[in-house]
Amino acid sequence: MPLMKSWVTSANDANHPFPLNNLPYGVFSVDGSDPHCGVAIGDMILDVTAAEAEGVIELDDEPLFDLPLWNPLMEQGPAVWAALRERLTSLLAEGSEEQDKVEPLLVPQDKAELHMPFAVSEYTDFYAGRHHAQNVGTMFRGPENALPPNWLHIPIGYNGRASSVVVSGTDIRRPWGQLKSPDQEKPAFLPSRRFDIELEMGAIVGTPSDGPITVQEADDHIFGYVLLNDWSARDIQAWEYQPLGPFQAKATATSISPWIVTKAALEPFRCDTPSREVELLDHLKDCGPMLYDIDLSVTMAPEGKPASTIARTNYKQMYYSAAQQLAHHSTSGCPMNTGDLLGSGTISGPTKPERGSLLELSWGGKEPLTLDTGETRSFIEDGDTLTLTGVAKGKGYTIGFGDCIGTVLPAHTAPYTQ
């Protein structure tokens, strides 16, 4: 599919992340005003809340955009999702006869503050990237035992905290926790010293389900995707994770990018999952291309210093797709709700520059990174800003998500005295 031209001229730049082909959904405010639902188009935001109030967009008898959240639309299902996309495209396309009534509803992006685009119902994070799992397992168990016995059969995951999911630009406070290194006789309560990121994609459930669904049904239920940074305290994790897995190490925060890129916008970039060493059971088998060709990168900027790119990889490196993760999640019969967020798991590639976490990049701290500034890092230091970016490149256009940014602040003053 080539570039679809818009009368918003900035959207026609081949390298701009928000062309007419994209139309991602977010929530914004200007100068402290009430937040509204908006759609990014070039350097502008179309105020969808105002467009609905003025009758420019009409999808239902009841308002869908009077709340600063996209959940009401998500609940409507694929037919209404498609109707909105078709309407937005007609309003914003080059030669639109309705340009005059749409133009006053545009807001410059550089004047807007972006907010959480949807209410997260529940959050589940997976461990579904083959190279990441192989690297981490090799570090702790050796290459011959790197993957758990179940890893090639099911997407492994854990239930995280929806309350900790924050929008890009939110500062992240270094967590406290109980730490114990192998040479210590007993644990100590300290701020994390091995704070890390995980480069992920997040899939957002639109259509709810109540009972098992197929992989194809799961794909149909997904509304869209965001970039996701699953902040991780590796030293807290190392002490706590036996026998039930991650808990406090993953509870600090999960950052997401501010714009939901719809599944419809990503259709031209579908690709297959990697070849299988072990045949999956029928309920998890691939039913077509379920991944997407999305280039991903991570930069790190020490306080007051320029950013250095520390990793580049691609979403197509995942072993399990979001549809397979959602289908697996549903097998127990647990309801999946509108607004559920599924983290892909860390996305790493086969070479060192493609590793999506500092744990891998520094090989557990044994091989510190040298930034462009000359400074070295094994894990995140206070004041460091981490930025995740993602783009899919089409014929003469780019699909972007908006950056996923977080700056790490020092831990709170000690909450307990010894």
Side chain identity at residue 332, one-letter code: S
Give the model confidence (pLDDT) of 277-299 as tens digits. 899 999 999 999 999 999 999 99
Residue 231 amino acid letter: W
Q: How far is CA 4 from CA 93, 265, 334, in A?
A: 7, 12, 41
C-alpha distances in Å from residue 13, one per residue of 6, 9, 18, 110, 399: 10, 8, 9, 17, 11
Per-residue pLDDT tens over the stretch 202-226? 999 999 999 999 999 999 999 999 9
- Of 235, 227, 125, 245, give the one whose Cα is nearest residue 166: 227
Contact 259, 402 (CB under 8 A): yes
**What's the pLDDT score for residue 245?**
86
**Residue 241: predicted pLDDT:** 87
**176: CB partners within 8 A, 6+ apart:** 189, 190, 191, 192, 411, 412, 414, 415
Residue-range domains of the chain with CATH: 9-115 (2.30.30.230), 123-409 (3.90.850.10)
Question: What residue spans of 153-312 are helical by DSSP H?
Answer: 215-221, 234-240, 263-266
Q: From CA 182, how far away is CA 185, in angstroms rounded?
A: 8
Model confidence pLDDT, tens digit, residues 300-340: 999 999 999 999 999 999 999 999 999 999 999 999 999 99
Q: Report pLDDT digits (tens) over 406-418.
A: 999 999 998 765 5
Residue 48 pLDDT > 90, yes or no?
A: yes
Find, among 243, 301, 295, the residue nearest to 271 by Cα.
295
pLDDT at 110: 97
Return mean pLDDT, the chain.
96
- Report the alpha-carbon angle 288-289-290, nearest 5: 105
Dist. CA 371–CA 381, nearest whole Å: 13
Whole-number pLDDT of residue 399 = 98
Nearest to 370 by CA among 313, 314, 309: 309
Q: Once rounded to an integer, what is the mean pLDDT over residues 243-250? A: 90
On whether the pTM is more than 0.85, the answer is: yes
- Average pLDDT of the residues in 5-28: 98
Average pLDDT estimate for 80-89: 98
85 — pLDDT class (breaks 50, 70, 90): very high
167-200: per-residue pLDDT in tens? Answer: 999 999 999 999 998 888 899 999 999 999 999 9
**Which amino acids are annotated catalytic?**
132
Q: Which residues pair with 114 in a beta bridge?
A: 28
Per-residue confidence (pLDDT) for residue 417, from 0 to 100: 59
pLDDT tens profile 127-171: 999 999 999 999 989 999 999 999 999 999 999 999 999 999 999
| pLDDT over 90 (residue 349) | yes
User: Taking residues 364-376, what's their average pLDDT?
Assistant: 97
Asked if 358 and 196 touch (Cβ cutoff 8 Å), the reply is: yes
What is the C-alpha separation between 358 and 245, in angstroms, rounded? 20
Half-sphere exposure at residue 9, Cβ-oriented, CA atoms within 13 angstroms: 0
Pull the structure tokens for residue 290.
């379920």
> How far is residue 142's CA from residue 243's CA, in Å, rounded to a whole number?
19
